[in-house]
Chain A
Amino acid sequence: MIDFSADHIGFVVASYAITLAVLGGLLAWEFARARAVHRRLDALERDGLVRRKPGEPAVRETT
């Protein structure tokens, strides 16, 4: 079990914190970009400028 009173523990905590921040930021950016593209595609579809091919899933279908 990690010992939070050990020497240099600040470096360990900082490493995990920066990893969490960068990967969390990457996930948030990826989901935000996907949402923006999906909304724009929906708008274009409503205007008849984009047509999904038969059987093609919508861009939003994934988590």
Chain B
Amino acid sequence: MSSIERFANPTRFLKLQAAVQPWVWAITIALFAIGLYLGLVRSPTDYQQGETVRIMYVHVPAAWSALMVYSVMALASIVAIVFRHPLADVAARAAAPIGACFCFLSLATGSLWGKPMWGTWWVWDARLTSMFVLFLLYLGYMAVWQAIDDPRRAARVAAIVAIVGFINVPIVKFSVDWWYSLHQPASVFRMGGPTIHKDLLMPLLVMGLAYTFLFLALHLKSMRTEIGARRIRQAELAQTGAIR
């Protein structure tokens, strides 16, 4: 039995989720505590940006997470369409609101960083615009689930939205290399290694890990809720005679 098949059963997933969830919460809290301590207490200021460099510790992980969550959604959608894995569209749907929040945070904190550094809250350049498009894709994905009553049809349409929208993920990542942008080029995940000093890099990486575990914790919990919500819907439909 492959690992995908092993966890295709929602009951088995729920057992696993119940076992790991407290540990994931504990690791998330610990990582945030360490990350915030390193970022707000231990890390030095930047010689050009001064204290505003500390915005990086909430802005960059939010942007990374927004891209990662959308990638998870797209992958889950492919699995849902190709393999008809019963948990795949649950996973994709459960991830969307979390990713939308990360994306919103990336845009909002980026704007708060842009005003003192660039002199403007917003410019319609490639990185900012593609990130805004990602936010709209999240909203569109969630709107599809709300707009279509039949869950199977909603799952199919939403999966197509997620997969087609994935084309925007590499555009966000490479926009700073492909087009002129006010936004700085990649300084952590790049060929040749990070260009950022280790005193600033360490808190950034810990906060990145903290956001990743926060996503994992929320996603596991949200998937459980979604499975419960589907069970309720089935029971209510059966009650009204829609399912025999």
Contacts and interface: CB of A to CB of B under 8 A. Distances in A.
Interface of A: 1-3, 6-9, 11-12, 14-16, 18-19, 22-23, 25-27, 29-31, 33-34, 37-38, 40-41, 44, 49-50, 53, 55-57, 59, 61-63
Given A2-B41, A22-B105, A63-B21, 16 more contacts: A1-B41, A3-B45, A3-B51, A8-B51, A15-B58, A15-B59, A19-B58, A22-B101, A27-B218, A29-B97, A30-B222, A30-B225, A34-B228, A41-B231, A44-B236, A62-B221
Given A34-B221, A34-B224, A49 B239 contact: yes
A59 B225 contact: yes
A12 B51 contact: yes
B18 A50 contact: no
Interface residues of B, number: 46
A61 B18 contact: yes
Contacts of B238: 49
Interface in B1-57: 11, 14-15, 17-18, 21-22, 25, 40-41, 45, 50-52, 54-55
B104 interface: yes
B86 interface: no
A30 B221 contact: yes
Contacts of B45: 3, 6
Contacts of A7: 50-51, 116
B51 A9 contact: yes
Contacts of A30: 218, 221-222, 225
B232 A57 contact: no
B224 to A, nearest CB: 6
Interface in B82-131: 97-98, 101, 104-105, 108-109, 112-113, 115-116
27 contacts: A1-B40, A2-B40, A6-B45, A7-B50, A7-B116, A8-B116, A11-B113, A15-B109, A15-B113, A19-B105, A25-B101, A26-B98, A29-B97, A33-B222, A34-B221, A34-B224, A34-B225, A38-B228, A41-B231, A44-B235, A55-B11, A56-B11, A59-B225, A59-B228, A62-B21, A63-B21, A63-B25
Contacts of B225: 30, 33-34, 37, 59
B28 to A, nearest CB: 10
B112 A26 contact: no
